[in-house]
Structure 1
């Protein structure tokens, strides 16, 4: 066993142990998603027998549950299989990111950087630093799912702590804290744009801007960092016990040559960033939008290539200095080795992509969302309780629909309209949506990055399964959601603006 678990008392620990035990009895994720795809096929056929129909929010279009056991369904299954796989966005993102990050890892740059920075920090601050880094990582969008968790595991291992606790903390910061940031990001622009479109459809001149949730998100970064560190240190890591495995990478002392190479790589990295800043600052820069702003812009849309080129530049500089890169052939070989490490993830994604595509094509997810929204509206809640009901509904719905923008595009036409007639500001409704949507990101099977995190886990514990991951991440989801609800209520009752001039009511 890679882990010598401590005995845990208390109902919550007993509950988590039960989740792990039951979850680990499930089939391998590759087979599990195959079974889930079969279930969707049968379920779509069964529901379609009742001619279920509903109105598509925002488009006022009548939709039906489409059966995969039909001529149309069979055609979709056979003709979309390859497109579902190769067109699966996280697959391309992960493999592309591994070109840069994988090379940086193989030449030893990441190891030297960690040894020279994070590991030297006081141990009491490491957990906070990991959670904070994960939350701030959404500047790089989904790329943070690939970068932060494995590095966090390495850091924990080399300071004598359980690597799975580090991985869980990194994943929680990136996933459950995804919507928070100290800066305005693409998420702010995307969601506010959807909210504004809904208000325009109502004939209102209210505009939701990217900064309308800024104050709340700034506060969220620091509070969630504290809460995430508490969950890691007091719940997750004690439950894991003492790590006994030998799979972790043990860091040796930094050599003078490695330090010299790190300094050169840092210099190149600074030059690269400075060049980008200069290009962005040029009047009428093509990396800005038509109004001269950055949210949205070509720069943010192309952030992944910029990150890849950054890692390539610093990795090649480091490798050439340490003589690990002796020719252009060395670069290709090392990137190839990094890609080999992703083979398990590629296999898992094949069936996961089919399941998610089937679920979307049948309209079952949209039907669940619309039915739930109608049920919530029919309850007739008033005051802040209706907002809390909306938060809980969204958190549950996120288990079926993993995409912040897609889910908001589905919910906004329903709930922004509903709450507008109750005199709630659309930006406030948007905040309530964001905290719920982010909190359950790390426990939804619809999150494709769960597969890559699980593959990272197995580097340290070969027996780790879906149950292990769910038991690790559930405390973060629960505590982040509860903390965010309390913070939301504090902003409401203390009259704190959620952004410049944005309060609860219009």
Structure 2
């Protein structure tokens, strides 16, 4: 039996167990229905037992409310639709998806990735693949397919093992998915949930989509360095020498029209940035706040709408020049197509919105946060150990539940208030979750994109399978986790800003 076969055999039982356990989980919609039912029962028991706490902020006594009662039933009937209609993340996510999905439909994002990966010198090819892949969340999950495929072609074109490129792209787009140099859809989605959870403690609390921007901006570069190290020291030596079957770089090259369209999009991007710079940089800029600052002005508050405008307009410029937009009617058509894959999310949000608001109604979030914070403080389990505990918890849960937003909907009402009770900002609680949620994406056997990645790899290595992918993704996951933990500790020790106007501590 070959060494590769022995490795697969030794890891098979563990992988089979994880896959079986993950497959037994119900659909997220059904899962949240069960959570609503469990919550209702727990709320009834807590209410009957007279469970209560004192809000440390206001000094008021907070008692648990039962959902299985006359008042609870009436509340649910009166608020069922309102819970869904006022669910903050829904509108933000749909708007971002319209804009980014439109840019994807006209071909802009794919072409930009192709040009960036295939046009760099050999010495920085791995770093470029990782950098683009980590920033791939701009293009949502499309990057998980596009970046690894193009990276494999780029590596083969310069005589490097294509599977090494594919794995670097896959690790970057999954284990580093949450990091990005600009505010992306992930930031919008998570911040809305974080704000709802934070308001369980302080109803006036707001959480902006830029609250993790500085931390995630730096993460792009630290993870890129870590990924280059892993690729060079672990992946390439293990794969060995690759004997190319032919140069396929030409298949992924750009046409003359695509190149012209990409240049036009680049010129527009520069002009777009300059236009907003003129509204922000001058002391009297119209996007500055009343006090003259940028942080308290409409520029930061309106950054998400600005990004929406950008992706739509740059998509129009590219589409017109490239010929993918034939007439003005194609614009709303492509926008509608960008939302076709969101129907499942909208259905899921309906039951998630009920769970979040039911959790708020019961006051269990406040009760759990206060009692947990007291227990952790009494046990001396606070600070860095507490953060590491939650990061590792998210890493483990991610092996069985791949929906990042779904997990945050569950964790946020508990983690955010509890961290606030310990003096940490909601934005920092969100950082802790994002680290744990991302690192194990690449080694989750039930992840829907794993079969696609294996299929791509089999083009170059017929024996490549699940065990091969997991074993080669593990060094990336561990390296990213270690780098992120060190970076988090640095942020805590020096109380560095997580985003514009947002610190680690309250």
Q: Scaled by the length of structure 1, what TM-score is found?
A: 0.66
Does structure 1 retain, via aligned residues, the 8 Å contact 2:439–2:481?
A: no
- State the 1:126 CA deviation: 6.2
| Match runs of 1:351-390 below 5 Å | 351-380=351-380, 386-390=382-386
Aligned residue in 2 for 1:155? 147
Aligned residue in 1 for 2:387? 391
User: C-alpha root-mean-square deviation of aligned residues, in Å?
Assistant: 5.0
Does structure 1 retain, via aligned residues, the 8 Å contact 2:129–2:151?
A: no
- State the 1:53 CA deviation: 0.7
Aligned residue in 1 for 2:320? 320
Aligned residue in 2 for 1:210? none
Aligned residue in 2 for 1:24? 23
1:169 aligns with 2:166: no
Mark the CA change 1:499 to 1:339 in structure 2 (over 3 Å): closer, same or farther.
closer
Q: Which has the higher relative contact order, 1 or 2, with Cα contacts under 8 A spaced 6 or more apart?
A: 1
- State the 1:260 CA deviation: 1.0
Q: Distance in 1 between matches of 2:64 and 2:225?
A: 44
Does structure 2 retain, via aligned residues, the 8 Å contact 1:130–1:152?
A: no
Structure 1 residues 220-243: Cα deviation after superposition (integer angstroms, max 9, x where no partner): 5543434466679969xx9xxxxx
Q: Distance in 2 between matches of 1:280 and 1:377?
A: 44
Mark the CA change 1:232 to 1:173 in structure 2 (over 3 Å): closer, same or farther.
farther
Q: Distance in 2 between matches of 1:444 and 1:63?
A: 37
Does structure 2 retain, via aligned residues, the 8 Å contact 1:231–1:476?
A: yes
Q: Distance in 2 between matches of 1:358 and 1:475?
A: 41
Does structure 2 retain, via aligned residues, the 8 Å contact 1:148–1:171?
A: no
- State the 1:305 CA deviation: 1.4
Mark the CA change 1:71 to 1:61 in structure 2 (over 3 Å): closer, same or farther.
same
Aligned residue in 1 for 2:36? 37
Structure 1 residues 122-170: Cα deviation after superposition (integer angstroms, max 9, x where no partner): 68866655665677x6xxxxxx856354324311123335979846633
| Match runs of 1:347-496 below 5 Å | 347-380=347-380, 386-392=382-388, 395=391, 410-411=417-418, 414-416=421-423, 436-442=432-438, 480=480, 482-486=482-486
Does structure 1 retain, via aligned residues, the 8 Å contact 2:131–2:172?
A: no
Mark the CA change 1:303 to 1:227 in structure 2 (over 3 Å): closer, same or farther.
same
Structure 1 residues 299-323: Cα deviation after superposition (integer angstroms, max 9, x where no partner): 1211121111111111111221233
Does structure 2 retain, via aligned residues, the 8 Å contact 1:56–1:63?
A: yes
Q: SS at the partner of 1:54?
A: strand
In the alignment, structure 2 segments of 5+ residues that lack a partner are 153-162, 202-211, 239-249, 398-406, 456-469, 498-503
- State the 1:51 CA deviation: 1.4
Aligned residue in 2 for 1:58? 57
- State the 1:407 CA deviation: 7.5
Aligned residue in 1 for 2:342? 342
Q: Distance in 1 between matches of 2:59 and 2:342?
A: 43
Does structure 2 retain, via aligned residues, the 8 Å contact 1:33–1:351?
A: yes
Mark the CA change 1:328 to 1:164 in structure 2 (over 3 Å): closer, same or farther.
farther
Does structure 2 retain, via aligned residues, the 8 Å contact 1:269–1:314?
A: yes
The more displaced of 219-228 and 47-56 is 219-228
Aligned residue in 2 for 1:206? none
Q: Distance in 2 between matches of 1:49 and 1:443?
A: 41
Does structure 2 retain, via aligned residues, the 8 Å contact 1:228–1:480?
A: yes
Q: SS at the partner of 1:63?
A: strand
1:114 aligns with 2:121: no
- State the 1:443 CA deviation: 8.6
- State the 1:370 CA deviation: 1.8
Mark the CA change 1:224 to 1:363 in structure 2 (over 3 Å): closer, same or farther.
farther
The more displaced of 88-97 and 386-395 is 386-395
Structure 1 residues 256-282: Cα deviation after superposition (integer angstroms, max 9, x where no partner): 111111111211121111111111123
Q: Distance in 1 between matches of 2:67 and 2:474?
A: 33
Mark the CA change 1:28 to 1:497 in structure 2 (over 3 Å): closer, same or farther.
closer
Aligned residue in 1 for 2:246? none
The more displaced of 480-489 and 397-406 is 397-406
Q: Distance in 2 between matches of 1:123 and 1:79?
A: 62
Mark the CA change 1:356 to 1:487 in structure 2 (over 3 Å): closer, same or farther.
same
Q: Distance in 2 between matches of 1:404 and 1:290?
A: 37
Mark the CA change 1:483 to 1:12 in structure 2 (over 3 Å): closer, same or farther.
farther
- State the 1:87 CA deviation: 2.9
| Match runs of 1:119-130 below 5 Å | 119-121=118-120, 128-129=127-128
| Match runs of 1:138-287 below 5 Å | 145=137, 147-160=139-152, 166=169, 169-175=172-178, 177=179, 222-227=221-226, 252-287=252-287
Structure 1 residues 244-267: Cα deviation after superposition (integer angstroms, max 9, x where no partner): xxxxxx974311111111111211
Q: Distance in 2 between matches of 1:72 and 1:335?
A: 43
